[in-house]
Amino acid sequence: MSVMKKNSVKLREEERARLIWLLTTHKTLTATLLGEITLVEQLDGERLDQDLAEVRALVSHLPPPDLADTLEALPVDERHALWRLVEDGKRGKVLLEASENVWDDLIDEMSDRALLAILETVDIDDRIWLVQHLPRNLIGRLMATLPPAERARVRQVMRYAKNCVGALMEFEVITVRSEVTLAAVQRYLRRLGRMPENTDKLFVIGRDNRLVGELGLQTILLNAAGKRVSDVMDADPVMFSPEDDAEKVARTFERDNLVSAAVVDSNGMLMGRLTIDEIVNVVYEETDNDMRQMGGLSTEEDVFAPVTKAVRTRWVWLATNLCTAFIASRVIDGFEHTISQLVALASLMPIVAGIGGNTGNQTITMIVRALALQNIQPGNITFLILREMGVALINGLVWGGIMGGVTWWLYDDAALGGVMTLAMVLNLLMAALMGVLIPMIMTRLGRDPAVGSSVMITAITDTGGFFIFLGLATLFLL
Amino acid sequence: MSVMKKNSVKLREEERARLIWLLTTHKTLTATLLGEITLVEQLDGERLDQDLAEVRALVSHLPPPDLADTLEALPVDERHALWRLVEDGKRGKVLLEASENVWDDLIDEMSDRALLAILETVDIDDRIWLVQHLPRNLIGRLMATLPPAERARVRQVMRYAKNCVGALMEFEVITVRSEVTLAAVQRYLRRLGRMPENTDKLFVIGRDNRLVGELGLQTILLNAAGKRVSDVMDADPVMFSPEDDAEKVARTFERDNLVSAAVVDSNGMLMGRLTIDEIVNVVYEETDNDMRQMGGLSTEEDVFAPVTKAVRTRWVWLATNLCTAFIASRVIDGFEHTISQLVALASLMPIVAGIGGNTGNQTITMIVRALALQNIQPGNITFLILREMGVALINGLVWGGIMGGVTWWLYDDAALGGVMTLAMVLNLLMAALMGVLIPMIMTRLGRDPAVGSSVMITAITDTGGFFIFLGLATLFLL
């Protein structure tokens, strides 16, 4: 066994990094590949030839999943340049492994004919998946390339929302009958010659394609060849409906340590299967989306999207933020008279607002996560509100007390210190209350609690903080 | 096939929800279970008896993973009450499936003897895992319950950091020799009678326990029984070292659609294996931790932790936030003279700070995610900085321009409007620059870029925003 083999994961990691480094730091390399300059125009032709040869060697050595990851880590021009070097036979697999954010860039410059040619190189299940997800205006032409049975399946799958089991399931399954022996199953498998990826079990069906059980590959291997399928199969397997929510299903996969599971329709007929690799993608995407959405970031923007796209996808939250900041500004403006009498208030008010924003964001992050992990049930809400308010009260008294003392000392004004402490306690309590209520109410309204929750809580704690602090100051200090 | 079976996932979900609802809304039920009140004291004894019977039935019907999830969704008292009802034979499995946040609560009230009894009920691999992770003061006694060979293994595993492959791997593997036939492998497997969970392949070893290849269960089933292992095995499998970082390994599992993989030492000797169920946990935890850490939340706090624990785990970030807010406040204080001359500045300055914080958080979220997904390589940093600054410049000109116009109109002061626009452009540029640089520098320093990054960027955009806006106002408006 050579060192090369032993380190294959590390070697591939190094090759990906090298490829990215070559393409991003050697601008002439990318330009040459894109045909913007020809080799003849180059001053340092020999050096460029070497680099080109190395890039080509790397591209042909790296397997499709690694090429997909490399494409995701490149700016648009370099992405195009690399894509041109990927051989036709690999392109389908690369597309399958790449995220949708990258597709537009890759498909952009390909002709429909070239795209159709790529589809021919992948499995039927993968082809169905690609046809569903590729740009809409191509679907018609792409559908025509599929055999009639598969065309019907694409139509069927396209009915389901993107985050449903139906949109993620695979059609290629191996089925057996319950009355045959394990020896017969083994003969059948050898005749088939291959199994779909991540096959850890076969599906046992009765009349009408109805699922009656599952037969693990382990079970086949561990039992005597003479036994019947019905004697050793799992007759009560976990199964899903095509309408099930993918994120919930992911938790069941985790909970039950599943590698694959059957998808059945409302009559118990086997439609297809779900596999762990799709589930892992769901988990990655789900948490990624939650993080982005809390910060007011589009789920569609990738880190290398061009400036114009980033501006387009981010403007909504920026505008929202500007509106809420404007409201906060108007609240302060209402207390102009108070501030003009005691300018110190202007320096102190951001502390009250800031500490509220911090606490509110801690609470809301925790609640959004707990909702996602399905840890919050109707019975718990009162407990959660009381808990967060309790934490806020203690923190308010401790840190508000300290800041009140500091204020007293700095401005030599005990009443100002008292107002500071009281305002901090009140704003922290409000932050805690809203931090629990906002995601709860959004869930009740059927909306995703992660979307923009951070922007919302900050708006409330800012406006509220300014109002509480300046209001108290007006009452007690003037 | 009954309806009951068909809906097993849904049925279990309903049962979990029912159990949580019963325990959290019927306070006397929990109190009775905890022995705080006896049945005799109850007024409505019959009703309580019914509820108790239902809770008992649910607990005995739900499998361990569901019980673990239910425990996580309960406040402390209810958690204790439920735990008392879990029968001894199930407790080990429940502990294994529950997250570490819950353990303290459960183990708290158990005697060492009871804990040892639980350990006896689980597999040796699970026992090793539990012994490693249970509270330190018990380790010595728990170790004594293990056979000498396993004790050595625990010591070996405990050397590795918590986020390394070494700490996650399992020791129970099935190995075969390369020179035997597939028929011999099948005979061997039947004699073994069982395989460890998530076994999708056997490991082929040579002399000295050296890994020479992998033999998929699929390969055994698809090939003729007379073939030799060496003819059909995968001789260049993906393998990991015990020192490898778990999050990176998770990406390799995703990239290569692995279900299990070998862990080998530096000499290529087989040490154990990693399975997809551990990897799925790693993915969930990783993204969960990232989200919490960005918001300045401890990774150890669960949503039902008591108030005192929440106060303890959150105070560091609150104190940090208070310090940064205090610095921002001192910056404003330095411009007290300017504000007293033009009180409108006090109402406008939070807009400049707020919009910077929003943009900074968008940028930093995107960069932290891209770093986690390994999409950022040294060659790209300049591109990213320029891209984010470009987005910030456009947004600054557009939204800063609008706000400048609004300010002009509100206060009838063109110069004030101009200062507003300029301050917004500059603060957005700074937010973008720091949003890229902070996570990059933290990564370079070997720290987790997610930790408190949101708190840090907000501090910079607040302080910077106030300084830029009030500084420009002092220069141009007085």
Mean pLDDT of A390-404: 94
- What would the pLDDT profile of B4-14 be if each residue is shown by its tens digit? 444 477 888 88
- What confidence tier does B38 reach under pLDDT thresholds 50, 70, 90? low
DSSP string, A428-453: HHHHHHHHHHHHHHHHHTTS-TTTTH
- What confidence tier does B422 reach under pLDDT thresholds 50, 70, 90? very high
Chain A hits for B276, Cβ within 8 Å: 259, 276, 280
Is A170 among the domain residues? no
Chain B hits for A318, Cβ within 8 Å: 355, 358-359, 395, 399
pLDDT of residue A318: 87
Is A298 among the domain residues? no
CB A370 within 8 A of CB A395: no
A324/A468 same-domain check: yes
Please identify, among B131, B158, B185, the residue that sits at the C-terminal boundary of a domain: B158
Could B292 and A369 be called an inter-chain contact, meaning their C-beta atoms sit closer than 8 Å?
yes
CB B407 within 8 A of CB B348: yes
Is A82 among the domain residues? yes
> Distance between CA B165 and CA B195 in Å, rounded?
22
B270/B350 same-domain check: no
pLDDT of residue B376: 79
Chain B hits for A281, Cβ within 8 Å: 254
Chain A hits for B253, Cβ within 8 Å: 280
pLDDT of residue B5: 47
Running DSSP on this structure, what letter comes out for residue A244? S
CB A158 within 8 A of CB A131: no
A179/A269 same-domain check: yes
Measured at the CA of B292, the angle between CA B287 and CA B293, to 5 degrees, comes to: 95
B19/B143 same-domain check: yes
Mean pLDDT of B409-430: 96
Residues linked to residue A203 through DSSP beta bridges, in sequence order: A175, A214
Helix (H, G, I), strand (E, B) or coil at A152: helix
Probe site for chain A from B27, B343, B386, B406 (most A CB atoms < 10 A): B343
Could B190 and A223 be called an inter-chain contact, meaning their C-beta atoms sit closer than 8 Å?
yes
Probe site for chain A from B269, B321, B424, B458 (most A CB atoms < 10 A): B321
A351/A377 same-domain check: yes
Mean pLDDT of B108-120: 78
Of the partner residues A25, A310, A351, the one whose CB lies closest to the CB of residue B326: A351
% of chain B beyond a pLDDT of 90: 39
Could A322 and B399 be called an inter-chain contact, meaning their C-beta atoms sit closer than 8 Å?
yes
Closest chain A residue to B334, measured at CA: A347
Q: How many domains is chain A built from?
A: 3
Could A304 and B6 be called an inter-chain contact, meaning their C-beta atoms sit closer than 8 Å?
no
- What confidence tier does A394 reach under pLDDT thresholds 50, 70, 90? very high
pLDDT of residue A384: 86
- Number of other CB atoms surrounding residue A320 within 10 Å: 16
Could A295 and B391 be called an inter-chain contact, meaning their C-beta atoms sit closer than 8 Å?
no
Probe site for chain B from A241, A343, A371, A381 (most B CB atoms < 10 A): A343
Alpha-carbon dihedral sign for residues A383, A384, A389, A395? positive
Is A316 among the domain residues? yes
Please identify, among A159, A188, A205, the residue that sits at the C-terminal boundary of a domain: A159
Closest chain B residue to A330, measured at CA: B347
Of the partner residues A355, A370, A376, the one whose CB lies closest to the CB of residue B322: A355
Chain B hits for A349, Cβ within 8 Å: 346
Residue A129 identity (one-letter amino acid): W
**Cα–Cα distances in angstroms (integers) from residue A95 to residues A134, A198, A281, B17, in the given order:** 10, 20, 15, 41
- What confidence tier does A6 reach under pLDDT thresholds 50, 70, 90? very low
Region of poorest pLDDT, from A158-172, A269-283, B422-436: A158-172
A13/A153 same-domain check: yes
Residue corresponding to tokens 């694409």: A154
Of the partner residues A264, A276, A339, the one whose CB lies closest to the CB of residue B343: A339
Is B456 among the domain residues? yes
Could B239 and A194 be called an inter-chain contact, meaning their C-beta atoms sit closer than 8 Å?
no
Please identify, among A253, A276, A299, the residue that sits at the C-terminal boundary of a domain: A276
Chain A hits for B288, Cβ within 8 Å: 287, 369, 373
Of the partner residues B315, B358, B379, the one whose CB lies closest to the CB of residue A321: B358
Probe site for chain B from A22, A182, A230, A358 (most B CB atoms < 10 A): A358
> Distance between CA B333 and CA A411 in Å, rounded?
11
> Distance between CA A63 and CA B256 in Å, rounded?
9
Of the partner residues B344, B348, B455, the one whose CB lies closest to the CB of residue A358: B455
Could B311 and A395 be called an inter-chain contact, meaning their C-beta atoms sit closer than 8 Å?
yes
Chain B hits for A314, Cβ within 8 Å: 362, 391, 395
> Distance between CA B98 and CA B71 in Å, rounded?
8
DSSP string, A23-62: HHH-HHHHHHHTTSS-GGG-SSHHHHHHHHHHHHHHHHHS
Region of poorest pLDDT, from A41-45, A198-202, A317-321, B469-473: A41-45
- SS3 letters for chain B? CCHHHHCHHHHHHHHHHHHHHHHHHCHHHHHHHCCCCCHHHCCCHHHHHHHHHHHHHHHHHCCHHHHHHHHHCCCHHHHHHHHHHCCHHHHHHHHHHCCHHHHHHHHHCCCHHHHHHHHHCCCHHHHHHHHHHCCHHHHHHHHHCCCHHHHHHHHHHHCCCCCEHHHHCECCCCEEECCCEHHHHHHHHHHHCCCCCCCCEEEEECHHHEEEEEEEHHHHHHCCCCCEHHHHCECCCCEECCCCEHHHHHHHHHHHCCCEEEEECCCCEEEEEEEHHHHHHHHHHHHHHHHHHHCCCCCCCCCCCCHHHHHHHHHHHHHHHHHHHHHHHHHHHHCHHHHHHCCHHHHHHHHHHHHHHHHHHHHHHHHHHHHHCCCCCHHHHHHHHHHHHHHHHHHHHHHHHHHHHHHHHHHCCHHHHHHHHHHHHHHHHHHHHHHHHHHHHHHHCCCCCCCCHHHHHHHHHHHHHHHHHHHHHHHHHC
Domain CATH number, residue A397: 1.10.357.20
Could B222 and A329 be called an inter-chain contact, meaning their C-beta atoms sit closer than 8 Å?
no
Could B283 and A279 be called an inter-chain contact, meaning their C-beta atoms sit closer than 8 Å?
no
pLDDT of residue B2: 35
Of the partner residues B253, B280, B322, the one whose CB lies closest to the CB of residue A403: B322
Alpha-carbon dihedral sign for residues A17, A18, A21, A22? negative
Of the partner residues A192, A314, A391, the one whose CB lies closest to the CB of residue B310: A391
- What would the pLDDT profile of A24-46 be if each residue is shown by its tens digit? 887 778 888 887 766 555 566 67
Domain CATH number, residue B76: 1.25.60.10
Mean pLDDT of B392-421: 95
Of the partner residues A198, A311, A355, the one whose CB lies closest to the CB of residue B257: A198
**Cα–Cα distances in angstroms (integers) from residue B438 to residues A9, A92, A298, A454, B260, in the given order:** 29, 38, 21, 20, 36
Cα pseudo-dihedral B273, B159, B92, B104, rounded to 10 = -140
B145/B196 same-domain check: no
Could B23 and A310 be called an inter-chain contact, meaning their C-beta atoms sit closer than 8 Å?
no
Could A333 and B344 be called an inter-chain contact, meaning their C-beta atoms sit closer than 8 Å?
yes
Could B328 and A403 be called an inter-chain contact, meaning their C-beta atoms sit closer than 8 Å?
no
CB A111 within 8 A of CB A339: no
Mean of the per-residue pLDDT values of chain A: 86
Closest chain A residue to B290, measured at CA: A291
Q: Which residues contact B36 (CB under 8 A, 6 or more apart)?
A: none
- What confidence tier does A331 reach under pLDDT thresholds 50, 70, 90? very high
Closest chain B residue to A265, measured at CA: B6
A461/A329 same-domain check: yes
pLDDT of residue A39: 56
> Distance between CA A341 and CA A19 in Å, rounded?
64
DSSP string, A299-352: SS--TT--HHHHHHHHHHHHHHHHHHHHHHHHHHHHTHHHHHH-THHHHHHHHH
Q: Which residues contact A267 (CB under 8 A, 6 or more apart)?
A: A210
- What confidence tier does B204 reach under pLDDT thresholds 50, 70, 90? very high
pLDDT of residue A430: 96
Could A374 and B197 be called an inter-chain contact, meaning their C-beta atoms sit closer than 8 Å?
no
Could B332 and A317 be called an inter-chain contact, meaning their C-beta atoms sit closer than 8 Å?
no
Chain B hits for A328, Cβ within 8 Å: 350-351, 354
> Distance between CA B354 and CA A317 in Å, rounded?
12
Kindly tell me if the per-residue pLDDT of A399 is higher than 70.
yes
Choose among B346, B452, B329: nearest CA to A351.
Answer: B329
Mean pLDDT of B48-56: 88
Closest chain A residue to B383, measured at CA: A75
For the beta sheet containing A270-275, the strands, ordered from the edge strand earlier in sequence to the opposite edge, are A239-240, A260-264, A270-275
Residue corresponding to tokens 């049930």: A377
A421/A390 same-domain check: yes
> Distance between CA A315 and CA A298 in Å, rounded?
10
Could A322 and B253 be called an inter-chain contact, meaning their C-beta atoms sit closer than 8 Å?
no
Kindly tell me if the per-residue pLDDT of B3 is higher than 50.
no
pLDDT of residue A44: 65
- What would the pLDDT profile of A133-174 be if each residue is shown by its tens digit? 776 566 777 777 777 877 887 777 778 887 889 888 888 899
Of the partner residues B6, B17, B325, the one whose CB lies closest to the CB of residue A350: B325
Choose among B438, B391, B235: nearest CA to A313.
Answer: B391
> Distance between CA B347 and CA A336 in Å, rounded?
8
Is B293 among the domain residues? no
Could B279 and A280 be called an inter-chain contact, meaning their C-beta atoms sit closer than 8 Å?
yes
pLDDT of residue A201: 94
- What would the pLDDT profile of B223-252 be if each residue is shown by its tens digit? 999 999 999 999 989 999 999 989 889 988
Chain B hits for A311, Cβ within 8 Å: 391, 394-395
Of the partner residues A5, A75, A358, the one whose CB lies closest to the CB of residue B318: A358
pLDDT of residue B4: 41
> Distance between CA A474 and CA A468 in Å, rounded?
10
Kindly tell me if the per-residue pLDDT of B174 is higher than 50.
yes
Choose among B237, B230, B234: nearest CA to B261.
Answer: B237
- What would the pLDDT profile of B328-363 be if each residue is shown by its tens digit? 999 999 999 999 999 999 999 999 999 999 889 889
Is B376 among the domain residues? yes
A52/A179 same-domain check: no
Running DSSP on this structure, what letter comes out for residue A209? G
- What confidence tier does A466 reach under pLDDT thresholds 50, 70, 90? very high
Could A329 and B311 be called an inter-chain contact, meaning their C-beta atoms sit closer than 8 Å?
no
Closest chain A residue to B96, measured at CA: A255
Choose among A249, A302, A312: nearest CA to A278.
Answer: A249
pLDDT of residue A103: 79
- What would the pLDDT profile of A102-134 be if each residue is shown by its tens digit? 877 787 777 777 887 887 788 877 877 777 777
How close, in Å, is residue B249 to chain A by CA atoms?
9
Of the partner residues B21, B192, B255, the one whose CB lies closest to the CB of residue A65: B255
B143/B183 same-domain check: no
A269 is in which domain, residue-wise?
A: 175-276
The values of phi and psi at residue A240, to 5°, are -125, 160
Pairing of strands B175-177, A260-264: unpaired
pLDDT of residue B171: 86
Is B470 among the domain residues? yes
Could A69 and B324 be called an inter-chain contact, meaning their C-beta atoms sit closer than 8 Å?
no
Chain A hits for B325, Cβ within 8 Å: 350-351, 354-355
Chain B hits for A195, Cβ within 8 Å: 218, 221-222
CB A25 within 8 A of CB B377: no
Kindly tell me if the per-residue pLDDT of A22 is higher than 90.
no
B291-314 per-residue burial string, b: 16 or more CB within 10 A, e: under 16: bbbbbbbbeebbbbbebebbbebb
A312/A389 same-domain check: yes
Domain CATH number, residue B185: 3.10.580.10
